[in-house]
Amino acid sequence: MEFIQMLESLLGSRNRERVLVFIYTRRKGYAREISRFYGTDLTPVQRQLERLESGSVLCCETAGRTRLFSLNPRYPFLKELQALLEKALSFYPADLKDRLALNRRRPRRSGKPL
Partner 1 sequence: MTLGELAAFICTRLKAEGISCTLSGGACVSIHTRNKFQSYDLDFIPDFGTDRKDIRRTLQTAGFIENGRYFKSDETRFYIEFPPGPLAVGSEPVKVVITLEFPTGTLSLLSPTDCVKDRLSAYYHWDDRQCLEQAELIARDNPVNLTEIRRWSEAEGMSSEFKSIRKRLIHG
Q: Which residues bind partner 1 (CB under 8 A)?
A: 54-56, 73-74, 76-79
Residue with Cβ nearer partner 1 (31 or 57)? 57
**Sign (positive/negative) of CA torsion 53, 51, 48, 92?**
positive
In the complex, least distance from residue 24 CB atom to partner 1, rounded to whole angstroms: 16
In the complex, least distance from residue 99 CB atom to partner 1, rounded to whole angstroms: 29
Burial 1-26 (b: 16+ CB within 10 A, else e): eebeebbeeebebbbbbbbbbbbbbb
Task: Determine contact, residues 68/29, Cβ cutoff 8 Å.
Answer: yes
In the complex, least distance from residue 74 CB atom to partner 1, rounded to whole angstroms: 5
Residue with Cβ nearer partner 1 (6 or 69)? 69
Residue with Cβ nearer partner 1 (73 or 113)? 73
In the complex, least distance from residue 71 CB atom to partner 1, rounded to whole angstroms: 11
Cβ count near 54 (within 10 Å): 9
Separation CA 17–CA 8 (nearest Å):
6
Residue with Cβ nearer partner 1 (3 or 75)? 75
